[in-house]
Structure 1
Amino acid sequence: MTPALRLLSCVSAFLLAASFASHAQTTRPWNNKQCAVVLTYDDAIDVDLDNALPALDSVGLRGTFYLIGSSPVVARRLPEWRRAAQSGHELGNHALMHPCDGSLPGRSFVTPDTDLSKYTVTRAVSEVRAANVLLSAIDGKTDRTFAYPCGDRQIGGTYFYEQLRQDFVGARGVTAGLQTAAQVDLANIDSYMINGQSGDYLVDLVKKAQQSHTLLVFLFHGVGGGHGLNVDLKAHRQLLRYLKAHEQDIWVAPMVEVAAKVKATQQGNAKPRG
């Protein structure tokens, strides 16, 4: 072999190894699949149990249901929530009273009793922890994630979740975006809020996550009605069918499992190299 061919062979081998290493780095956080998808459902409403949960169970997929501790649907249908947890779905924490910042524009729906801008940080933290006690009584678990009501993270300029970091594996926000495991902020995980978009739009988001090897989080409220923010049953079904048909390439899991994987990956990457 001539020196030129030997050099070309070495360069080719190096590039091939680098390609494999890059692919492994991008897919390893997602259980060696192309991407991760998390299906989240907010507010503990009847359609969670009537529509969303049966749809997930019918195709063997698991999601995260962010429960408001004071929701009458939690109290009235507690055995069904417990069965959902036993089936592998996560019961996430969406606070005790779902307080939102009433001082922001477009917040006329916020009542004086649930106005986060009038809370103290201590009150907000205490209510979130009280909701955790309730959820643990339902599912017997201690590991779970949090979702900011209305996406509001601050009280008087203070990020109240800073006092809750040890209580949760992660917290879901409302900023849309696709992120690699290294880019994910576990105190404010990106998500796409869905309200009226088509099934094609939902599937296209998944395809983008597959191509970019990123985390995609869907934020649903009503599924087939039941809330002012809604996804059509047909569109929701189309998304689930695509995920099921491509489960060999897409890791679909509750937020608590994906966040734990992201955390482990980030900590592993942060270890000093000897």
Structure 2
Amino acid sequence: MRVFRTCALAAAIGLLGHSASLAQTSSLWNNKQCAVVLTYDDAIDVDLDNAIPALDSLKLRGTFYLIGSSPVVAKRLPEWRRAAQRGHELGNHALMHPCDGSLPGRTFVTPDNDLSKYTVSRAVSEIRANNVLLNAIDGKTARTFAYPCGDLQIGGVKFYDQLQNDFVAARGVMGGLQTAAQVDLTNIDSYMINGQSGDYLIDLVKQAQQSHTLVVFLFHGVGGGHGLNVDLKAHRQLLRYLKAHEKDIWVAPMVEVAEKIKSAQASSAAGKAKG
């Protein structure tokens, strides 16, 4: 009987701990099951023509990672400003979108934009210059960064280490669902979407709901406009699912979700230090 009571007590304590953990996670995700971040890279016409109108029609907000030198930024600047005013984040995707041309499959990289030929100081300076441009568009200082091509290093040096005070967080390109404690704010996981179905996109969200985690989508073309593309129908299916389940799913720009995670991680670290 004593063994039974001991086992029952241990099980009860385990359940209480699990419930407390879930409650803490739900609180972090604005008292919802999970968090979803919709990100769109490269500042292309379809962002303004397809993606933003689709999001606005359902009152959802996303993060648009802008390349400062993109002609679509210069030609359509008032539209980007209006998007920011409606709550979309204008994230930093570098001034020139440099990628490491020394890696396999990088024949598209031009000599002028070859990250492997950059110095760290040049990369940092260009990224900061893009922040100045973005601030001139939206008037905001808090934003996130997305690594062009997912490249983190120059000559073995992580250039973002010098930029951590300039951003709330940085988004990478490796897929994965993560709890707040697992998130690396210097390289947040994301699922790069290229041709997957609406059912696939929705299934990722359902997995996040079940595991109470963060899922980040990385889009380029939406209904065309880029070599990496999601079909308009698939994109619309995802947005409709998110809207239909908004009581259970927190959909927000990366900067807002990252700020929440950053605060939670800082609190956890402070608690452990006191302990």
| TM-score normalised by length of structure 1 | 0.95
In structure 1, C-alpha distance between the alignment counterparts of 2:171 and 2:57, rounded to whole Å? 26
Alignment of 1:163-182 (within 5 A): 163-182=162-181
Q: Which residue in the other structure is 1:237 paired with?
A: 236
Q: Which amino acid is the alignment partner of residue 127 of structure 2? A: V
CA contact (8 A) 2:22 2:212 kept: no
Determine the structure 1 residue equivalent to 2:49. 50
Amino acid at match of 2:242: L
Give per-residue Cα distances to partners, 1:98-128, cap 9 Å, x unaligned. 0000111111111111000000000000000
Letter in 2 for 1:171: A
SS at match of 1:21: helix
**Alpha-carbon deviations, 1:4-58, whole Å to 9, x = none?**
9987886675355323212113322211211110000000000000000000001
CA distance in 1: counterparts of 2:68 and 2:221, whole angstroms? 18
Residue 80 of structure 1 aligns with which residue?
Answer: 79
CA distance in 2, matches of 1:15, 1:116: 50
Alignment of 1:183-194 (within 5 A): 183-194=182-193
> Letter of the aligned partner of 1:170 in structure 2?
A
Paired amino acid for 1:142: T
Match in the other structure for 1:256:
255
> Secondary structure, in 3 states, of the residue corresponding to 2:143?
coil
CA separation of 1:25 and 1:78: change in aligned 2, threshold 3 A: same
Deviation readout 1:42-88 (Å, 9 max, x if unpaired): 00000000000000001110000000000000000000000000000
* C-alpha distance 155-8 of structure 1, shift in aligned 2 (>3 A): closer
Alignment match, 2:103: 104
- Shift >3 Å, 4+ stretches: 2-16
When the two structures are aligned, how many residues end up with a matched partner? Answer: 273
1:189-208 alignment runs, 5 A limit: 189-208=188-207
Q: Which amino acid aligns with 1:230?
A: N
Determine the structure 2 residue equivalent to 1:144.
143
Choose 16-25 or 104-113, whichever is displaced more: 16-25
Which residue matches 1:61? 60
The two structures, once aligned, show a CA RMSD in angstroms of 1.7
Kindly provide the amino acid, as one letter, of the partner of residue 142 in structure 2: D
TM-score in terms of structure 2 length: 0.95
Farther-moved stretch of structure 1 (223-232 vs 14-23): 14-23
Q: How far apart in 2 are the matches of 1:120 and 1:165?
A: 18
Work out whether 1:265 is the aligned partner of 2:264.
yes
